[in-house]
Amino acid sequence: MTQLHTPKASRNQEMGRLSFMGSVSPAVVRFRDRGGEGDGTSRRVPGTFSVVPAPMKQTVRRSLLVTSATLASLALTAPASLAAPSPSPSPAASGSPSGSASPSGSPSASASPSVTPPADMSSVGGTRLGQAGTQVAIAGGAPVLPKDLTARSWIVADAESGDVLAAHNAHWRLPPASTMKMLFADTVLPRFPKTTVHKVEAKDLAGMGAGSSLVGIKEGETYTVHDLWLGVFLRSGNDAVHVLSQMNGGIAETVKDMNEHAEELQALDTSVVSPDGYDASGQVSSAYDLTLFARSGLQKQDFREYCSTVTAKFPGETTKKKGKTSRGTFEIQNTNRLLSGDYDISQYPGIAGVKNGNTTNAGATFTGVAERNGKVLLVTVMNPSKTDHNEVYKETAALLDWGFQAAGKVTPVGELVAPKGTAQASAQPGANPSASEGSGQAGGAGDVSAKPVAGSVTESGSGGMWIALAIAGGLLVLLAGGGYLVNRRWPLPDLVRRRR
C-alpha cells in the first residue's frame, strides 16, 4: 500500500509478505482447494458461487451473519443531525501514486497523524459520536469494556438495528488504508457482470504506489471481472483495483464516483484520493464511515460472497512449452485473519468479512462483521498503538465479544444513519429504492433468486473458493412491501436460521 521500502516494505502487503511469496507462518488451518481448472479459467455461473464447507465449526453462524448483515442496512434510523461539511474533492491528474489529485479543502493525512482527536468532529449519527474519547452507556448487568484497547478510533454497532453500542473517537478522520476498498467495491461492483473478460494493458497498472499489495496481475493477460474482484477482496490487490478503475473510466473518474457515493451514504468524514486506499495527502475516513461502507456493501450478494471467501484459485501467467500454450492457477488466501486464521489467532466464530488494511500512515485498520445467537455486529478498529502481531484483529475480537455480551444491556450512544436516497424514499409512501441498493449481483442484475445459494452447488466449480455455507443472499427480500421503513427491524428469515 504505502511508501515503505525494503526491508520494511512488507507492512503495505496486508499479510506482511509480498504477493508472490508463500506463507511462512505455521499452518494451523489448512484448506484443500476445490475447482480451478488447469487453464486458470474455471467455468463460472454468473451471480452464484459454488458452496463448500467452511473450515470452521461455526459455519452456520457465519452464514447467518452474512444474511443478517445484508438486512442490516435496511434497518436504518432517522437521518443524522448536525452533519459535518462534506469535503469537495476535485480529482485531476497529478503526481500522486494513484494519479489523482488531492481534494481541495480536504484534511491532510500527514505522515504522523495527531495523537489527539480534533474537538470539532462530526455528529452524524448522534452528538455523543462527535465527542472525543470513549462513549458508552452501560446499564445494569452489562460487562465493562475490554481492557488494553489501544486503537485511536473504534466503533461497535448492531448491524440490523443500526444502534451504536459503544464508540471511541468514531468520527476521527484518519487514513483508512485498504479498508477504503469497501467503498470502492460498493461503488464499482454493480457496474460490470462478473463474466466480463478484460485484457490488461500497461496503462491499467500505471501509477501504483511503491510497496503496494498485489495479487499478481500481468500485462497482456486476460482476466474476468470475477477474477479481479477475488484479487481485491482476498489479496487486497492494488493492481486489481487499478484495472477495475480503468475499466470504470479511469482513476480520476472512479475517485469522483466514490466520493459521490460516500456522500450518498452520509459518510461525510471521507475524502477519497486513491481508490485502493494507498496513502495520499487528504485521503481520510473514519471508523463510523467505514462501518457505513461495510453495511451498504453487505446488501450486495457478490460483496457478501467475496468478503467471506477464504481461499480461491487465481489465473497465473500464460506459458509456452514445446509449442503448447498453457495457463495455470495459484492459490490466494483472504488476508482477513479473523476469517482465515493465523499462527497466533484463530478464526473468529461467526465471522464473515469484511476488509483489512495496513499502510505507513494508517497503521492497521479493520472492519469486521460477525453473528452470534441471531445478533449481528459490525466492528471497525483503526490504528492500534500496540504493535503486537495481528493486534488489530485481537482488539476487534475483544470488542465483538464485548458487543455480544452487552447487546440489550447498554443504551445506544448513536446510530448508523440511512443513505440519503433511503431517507428520501422512506419519506414517500410506496416509494421504491434505487436498483443499485437492492442489487444482489455484480453488474447490477438485481435478480435476487428465491433459491438459497447453499442449494446451488454447480458441476462447474467456481475458482475453488471456500465460502460460508448457506450464504443466503438469494433468500433475502431487501424490500418487504415496497419502500424502506425507518426504524424497522429486519429479522433473519426462518429458512436460513439453521441449515442441517
Q: What's the grid cell of residue 138?
A: 452501560
Q: What's the grid cell of residue 495?
A: 429458512
Q: What is the DSSP letter of 268?
A: T
Return the number of other C-beta atoms located less than 10 Å from residue 401's C-beta: 17
φ, ψ dihedrals at 340, nearest 5°:
-95, -20
- 3-state DSSP assignment of residue 436: helix
Beta strands in 207-323 (DSSP E): 222-224, 311-321
| Catalytic residue selected from 68, 98, 122, 178 | 178
Which residues, at least 6 apart from 3, have a Cβ–Cβ distance to it below 8 Å?
Answer: 209, 210, 211, 279, 360
Catalytic residue check, 181: yes
- The rounded distance, in Å, linking the Cα atoms of 161 and 39 is 46
Catalytic residue check, 112: no
- The rounded distance, in Å, linking the Cα atoms of 40 and 332 is 13
| Catalytic residue selected from 106, 123, 181, 436 | 181
- The rounded distance, in Å, linking the Cα atoms of 372 and 382 is 23
| Catalytic residue selected from 161, 236, 271, 285 | 236
User: 98 has which bridge partners?
Assistant: none
Catalytic residue check, 375: no
- The rounded distance, in Å, linking the Cα atoms of 257 and 250 is 11
- 3-state DSSP assignment of residue 364: strand
- The rounded distance, in Å, linking the Cα atoms of 212 and 303 is 23
User: 330 has which bridge partners?
Assistant: 314
Query: Which amino acid type is present at position 151?
Result: A
CB 50 within 8 A of CB 461: yes
| Residues involved in catalysis | 178, 181, 236
